[in-house]
């Protein structure tokens, strides 16, 4: 995230609250052009064809069309968008008019990451009339892909052609299904849940951090990890003085204040030391003070923050240089581990072998697998560390899905699918440039939110809550071992993107999860905070992520088997208007007849606006019938369904005068064996855990003991 926001955090705290009307938008086709470009599409035709997006006549609808004049060979009308997922779209459609001449011969091509795909040839354009063109995305080679970023209409004659006109361009959405099919397979383990997924950034500018209210907020939302001192400010911050640069005043939250909350919360921690204007000695002294002097046991330490970016403070002679960073990172790593050998130290990384070379070409890194030389940040940094004989404990990755003024709700809710690609990219770079030493290096995400800087109303809307949950669910399918949300408290700002095209009623942006200026009321929690709270019921560290699948892209589903044997299902309905009837099929899990449903969506968000009803998560009982049942998922909602295992069966046999009890139940579940002499008072004999479908236990009481009764019960 950019320096302007980090440095402006105090200023953001002072932004005023305003009121706005609530807007709702139906799930529909994605408009690209109709009188004007829409949904963050851009005209990239400059220097290729002459395009007028404000042509008055002819127009197919409204008052304008786009006129296209191809005055030379192979020119074209080129529209571009940030990479987006096409899983919900079937066709590209537009209306075209050949004008008074007609007969133009053109091709259409879509692009993925600016790489042209399949050519589709159009018949000659009509004269003085409009014709609708409908092209299946499959024909264009961009059906169900994650990176559609544009298309063009291009001359195919090799010469100039008369002006023609284009209007009402859109991506056509698939119609919603009558029933969405969801499956869960409890035997297919994806990975183990890491507690560091449920984490949030703290910051030195948070004047209310070291308070009982903050402790309660973090506990209620289920926060299990914290990061400090706060983004880009980390490269200006001096921990011992609690100051940044040459500031004569101190920040509100010192390291000691942060440690007070973190240790009482029993949270794991990420501490970002000052690389940009600090020293290895300063960092090692911080480790020593935290873990030796104070005994905090803070394990994860980051060397700098986004040091590849020119928005980051960097006083080195070669600023934002991966070679310089790696060379100094060696000193940091050795000094910090010299203070406490038990800590883990990470280095800053980015995806893409050519990303953020920043103009430095003196130390190219040659990929031993491809034999290609690269000057990008991560290859040069990793290759340099390897040459220096140093291996980091983890890579630090930050992911912001969109850039300001390009926010789009549907695109945001489709963006989380890229976590798999991000993990694959970073792992491949580790393998390529560190060799076998890279295998033990963790992938860690310590910042995630919807927009890279200048937060608008989307950050405080229900859509961002859906994005947070969907981001975690998709990350849980990868090897990333943390997800740290940016951030707990920041400040409201009314001057960024508050477009009516974005869902939500708050007329301001805020990176924070809460706004506590008015106290601890639930109405001071933004929707993303409630997403965190909901996730407590989905998974905790040590649970198993198991395989779940949905046959419709607007319904994301993820599943876990808890350490107590229960299965939980997280469902994200990304449609703002459609309630989906969902059929859920369970494999290798027999549920109890009673489950619990936790939901958060428009009714709760609207209650925060109106004061009518509760803004909190709704918890209800849910009747389960067998391993196939239906569940209605409300529009723009988060749902967690918690399913206890079916009641266990207890059988008994006497062998050699001893009573052998057999508990049959859900593999992975925990059960108590209880005994009573009167069916009224029961005492626990032992707790057992099932590695398979049953476990046996021998009762040690004498055979001539009084009459006694036994039962088994699930341990929730």
Least confident of 97-106, 448-457, 519-528: 519-528
How many residues are there in the chain? 716
The H-or-E segment that residue 76 falls in is: strand 76-84
Q: What is the DSSP secondary structure assignment for residue 292, as one 8-state letter? A: I
Per-residue pLDDT, averaged over 373-379, amounts to 98
User: Residue 216 falls within a domain, yes or no?
Assistant: yes
Q: CB-based contacts of 55: which residues, under 8 Å, 6+ apart?
A: 64, 65, 66, 67, 165
pLDDT of residue 700: 73
- Asked whether residue 341 carries a pLDDT value surpassing 60, the answer given is yes
Q: What band does 207 get if pLDDT is binned at 50, 70 and 90?
A: very high
**End residue of a domain, out of 173, 204, 219:** 173
d(CA 88, CA 664): 44
State the chain's mean pLDDT as an integer: 92
State residue 407's pLDDT score: 93
621 occurs within a structural domain: no
Report pLDDT for 6: 37
Residue 674 has pLDDT above 60, yes or no: yes
Residue range 346-361: mean pLDDT, rounded = 97
Higher-scoring residue by pLDDT: 271, 695: 271
153 located within any domain = yes
Q: Which of 203-207, 262-266, 694-698 has the lowest mean pLDDT?
A: 694-698
Decide: 469 and 450 in contact? Cβ < 8 Å: no
Copy the structure tokens of residue 435: 């060799």
Residues 6+ apart with CB under 8 A from 485: 199, 200, 201, 448, 449, 468, 513, 528, 532
On whether both 56 and 201 belong to a single domain, the answer is no
Looking up residue 670, the CATH number of its domain turns out to be 2.60.40
Classify residue 705 by its DSSP letter.
S
Cβ 31 vs Cβ 39: under 8 Å? yes
Residues near 389 by beta carbon (within 8 Å), at least 6 away in sequence: none
End-to-end Cα, the chain, rounded Å: 41
List all residues 6 or more positions away from 304 whose beta carbon is below 8 Å from its beta carbon. 234, 235, 272, 273, 274, 275, 276, 312, 325, 348
* pTM: predicted TM-score of the whole model, two decimal places: 0.88
Distance CA(313)–CA(298), nearest Å, equals 25
In this predicted structure, the answer to whether residue 508 has a pLDDT above a threshold of 90 is yes
Residue 517 predicted with pLDDT over 80: no
287 and 146 share one domain = no
Within a domain: residue 627? no
| pLDDT value at 17 more than 60 | no
Q: Would you state the structure tokens that stand for residue 151, as one six-digit string? A: 């298309």
Q: What DSSP state is assigned to residue 416?
A: G
Sign of the Cα torsion 496, 499, 503, 508 reads positive
Residue 78 located in a structural domain:
yes
Stronger pLDDT, 712 or 476, i.e. the higher one: 476
Last residue of a domain, one of 510, 539, 568: 539
Kindly state the DSSP code that residue 284 receives in the 8-state scheme: H
Is residue 512 in some structural domain?
yes
Q: Half-sphere exposure of residue 517, counting CA atoms within 13 Å on the CB side?
A: 12
Q: Which residues contact 702 (CB under 8 A, 6 or more apart)?
A: none
pLDDT confidence of residue 519: 62
Judgement on whether residues 134 and 226 belong to the same structural domain of the protein? no
Helices (H) and strands (E) in the chain, counts: 13, 39
Query: Quick check: 589 and 667 in contact, CB under 8 A?
Result: no
Each residue of 104-124: pLDDT tens digit? 999 999 999 999 999 999 999
Q: What is the mean pLDDT of residues 201-210?
A: 96
List of residues 6+ apart from 103 with CB closer than 8 A: 124, 125, 127, 162
Residues of the domain holding 40: 30-173
Q: What's the mean pLDDT in 517-521?
A: 65
Residues 380 and 234 in one domain: yes
- The single residue listed with the structure tokens 């035997």 is 187
CB 222 within 8 A of CB 198: yes
7 SS3 class: helix
Same domain as 468, residue 346: yes
Q: Tokens for 588, please give them.
A: 């290798």
How far, in whole angstroms, is CA 422 from its chain's centroid?
Answer: 12
Please check whether residues 410 and 308 belong to one and the same domain.
yes
Q: Is there a contact between 281 and 239 (Cβ–Cβ < 8 Å)?
A: no
356: buried, middle or exposed (CB in 10 Å: 19+, 13-18, 0-12)?
Answer: buried
What values do phi and psi take at 248, rounded to 5?
-90, -5
Residue 131 lies in a domain: yes
pLDDT for position 702 = 61
For the ranges 268-282, 507-521, 528-542, 632-646, the lowest mean pLDDT is seen at 507-521
Residue 78 sits in the same domain as residue 204: no
Positive or negative, the CA dihedral 27, 32, 36, 37 is positive
Helix segments in 76-169, DSSP class H: 137-140
φ/ψ of 326, rounded to 5, equals: -65, -40
Residue 180 in tokens: 């969405």
What 3-state DSSP class applies to 98? coil
Specify whether 275 is located in the same domain as 322.
yes
Task: Return the pLDDT at 669.
Answer: 84
Q: How far, in Å, CA of 419 to CA of 442, rounded?
A: 15
pLDDT in the model for residue 523: 82
Domain shared by 233 and 357, yes or no: yes
Q: Give CA–CA dist 650/699, Å, rounded.
A: 13
Q: What is the DSSP letter of 514?
A: B
Cα-only R_g, the chain: 29
- Quick check: is 261 in a domain? no
Q: Minimum mean pLDDT among 52-56, 545-549, 659-663: which range?
A: 659-663
Buried/exposed code over 537-552 (b: 16+ C-beta within 10 A; e: otherwise): bbbbeebbbbbbebeb
Where residue 395 sits, what CATH number does that domain have?
3.20.20.80
Mean pLDDT for 92-104 is 97
Q: Is the pLDDT of residue 15 over 90?
A: no
What's the burial of 341, exposed, middle or buried (CB within 10 Å: 0-12/13-18/19+)? exposed
Of 517, 539, 561, the residue that ends a domain is 539
Span of 23-27, 447-451, 629-633, 686-690 with lowest mean pLDDT: 23-27
* Residues of the chain above pLDDT 70, percent: 95
Coil vs helix vs strand at 554: coil
Tell me if residue 692 falls in helix, strand or coil. Answer: coil
Q: Which pLDDT value is given to residue 396?
A: 98
Q: How is the chain split among helix, strand and coil, in percent rounded to 5?
A: 20, 35, 45
Q: What are phi and psi of 595, to 5 degrees?
A: -115, 180
Residues 152 and 233 in one domain: no
Q: Report phi then psi at 185, rounded to 5.
A: -120, 105
Mean pLDDT in residue range 200-214? 95
304 and 399 in a common domain: yes
Q: Which of 234, 312, 337, 225 is closest to 278 using CA atoms? A: 234
Q: DSSP 3-state assignment of 295?
A: coil
Based on the domain organization, do 213 and 163 belong to the same domain? no
Q: What CATH number should be reported for the domain holding residue 128?
A: 2.60.120.430
Exposed/middle/buried for 390, CB within 10 Å: 0-12, 13-18, 19+? buried
- Phi, psi for residue 442 in degrees, rounded to 5: -75, 155
Predicted local distance difference test score (pLDDT) of residue 7:
30
**H or E element, residue 322:** helix 322-339
What pLDDT was estimated at residue 589? 94
Gap between the Cα atoms of 395 and 386, Å rounded:
14
Helix (H, G, I), strand (E, B) or coil at 365: strand
Residue pair 197/558 in contact by the 8 Å Cβ criterion: no
The predicted-structure confidence for 278-291, as pLDDT tens digits, reads as follows 999 999 999 999 99
The total domain count for the chain is 3
Residue 385: the pLDDT is: 98
- The pLDDT score that the predictor gives to residue 174 is 87
The three-class DSSP label of residue 524 is helix
């Amino acid at each position: 995230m950019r320096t302007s926001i980090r440095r402006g955090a105090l200023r953001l705290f002072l932004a005023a609250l305003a009121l706005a009307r609530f807007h709702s938008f139906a799930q529909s086709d994605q408009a690209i052009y109709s009188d004007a470009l829409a949904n963050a599409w851009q005209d990239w035709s400059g220097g290729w064809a002459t395009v007028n997006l404000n042509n008055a006549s002819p127009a197919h609808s409204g008052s304008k069309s786009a006129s296209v004049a191809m005055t030379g060979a192979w020119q074209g009308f080129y529209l571009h968008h940030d990479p987006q997922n096409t899983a919900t779209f079937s066709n590209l459609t537009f209306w075209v008019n050949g004008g008074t001449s007609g007969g133009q011969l053109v091709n259409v091509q879509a692009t993925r990451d600016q790489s042209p795909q399949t050519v589709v040839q159009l018949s000659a354009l009509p004269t003085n009339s409009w014709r609708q063109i409908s092209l299946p995305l499959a024909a264009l080679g961009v059906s169900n892909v994650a990176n559609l970023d544009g298309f063009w209409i291009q001359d195919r004659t090799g010469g100039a052609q008369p002006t023609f006109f284009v209007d009402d361009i859109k991506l056509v959405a698939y119609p919603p299904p009558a029933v969405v099919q969801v499956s869960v397979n409890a035997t297919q383990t994806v990975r183990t849940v890491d507690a560091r997924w449920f984490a949030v950034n703290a910051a030195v500018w948070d004047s209310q951090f070291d308070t009982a209210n903050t402790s309660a907020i973090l506990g209620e939302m289920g926060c299990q990890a914290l990061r400090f001192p706060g983004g880009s400010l980390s490269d200006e911050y001096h921990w011992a003085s609690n100051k940044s640069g040459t500031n004569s005043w101190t920040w509100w939250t010192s390291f000691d204040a942060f440690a007070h909350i973190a240790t009482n919360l029993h949270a794991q921690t990420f501490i970002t030391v000052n690389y940009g204007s600090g020293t290895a000695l300063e960092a090692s002294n911080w480790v020593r003070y935290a873990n030796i002097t104070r005994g905090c046991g803070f394990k994860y330490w980051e060397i700098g923050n986004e040091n590849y970016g020119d928005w980051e403070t960097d006083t080195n002679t070669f600023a934002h240089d991966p070679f310089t960073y790696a060379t100094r990172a060696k000193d940091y790593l050795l000094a910090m581990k010299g203070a406490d050998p038990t800590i883990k130290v990470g280095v800053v990384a980015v995806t893409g072998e050519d990303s953020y070379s920043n103009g430095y070409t003196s130390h190219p890194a040659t990929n031993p697998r491809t034999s290609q030389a690269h000057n990008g940040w991560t290859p040069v940094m990793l290759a340099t560390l390897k040459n220096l004989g140093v291996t980091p404990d983890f890579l630090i990755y930050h992911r912001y899905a969109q850039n300001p003024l390009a926010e789009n709700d549907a695109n945001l809710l489709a963006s989380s699918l890229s976590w798999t690609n991000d993990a694959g990219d970073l792992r491949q770079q580790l393998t390529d440039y560190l060799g076998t030493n890279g295998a033990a290096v963790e992938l860690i995400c310590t910042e995630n939110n919807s927009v890279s800087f200048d937060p608008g109303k989307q950050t405080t809307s229900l859509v961002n809550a859906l994005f947070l949950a969907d981001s975690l669910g998709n990350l849980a399918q990868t090897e990333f071992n943390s997800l740290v949300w940016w951030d707990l408290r920041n400040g409201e700002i009314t001057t960024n993107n508050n477009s009516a095209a974005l869902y939500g009623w708050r007329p301001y942006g805020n990176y924070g999860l809460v706004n506590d200026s008015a106290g601890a009321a639930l109405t001071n929690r933004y929707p993303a905070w409630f997403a965190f709270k909901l996730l407590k019921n989905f998974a905790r560290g040590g649970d198993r992520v198991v395989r779940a699948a949905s046959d419709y892209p607007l319904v994301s589903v993820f599943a876990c088997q808890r350490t107590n044997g229960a299965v939980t299902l997280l469902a994200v309905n990304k449609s703002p208007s459609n309630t989906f009837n969902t059929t859920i099929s369970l494999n290798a899990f027999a549920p109890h007849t009673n489950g619990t449903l936790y939901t958060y969506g428009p009714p709760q968000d609207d209650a925060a606006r109106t004061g009518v009803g509760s803004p909190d998560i709704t918890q209800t009982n849910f009747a389960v019938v067998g391993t196939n049942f239906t569940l209605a998922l409300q529009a723009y909602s988060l749902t967690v369904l918690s399913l206890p295992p079916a009641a266990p069966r207890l059988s008994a046999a006497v062998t050699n005068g001893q009573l052998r009890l057999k508990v049959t139940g859900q593999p992975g579940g925990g059960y108590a064996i209880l005994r009573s002499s009167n069916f009224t008072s029961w005492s626990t004999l032992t707790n057992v855990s099932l590695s398979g479908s049953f476990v046996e236990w021998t009762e040690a009481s004498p055979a001539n003991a009084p009459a006694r009764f036994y039962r088994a019960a699930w341990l929730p």
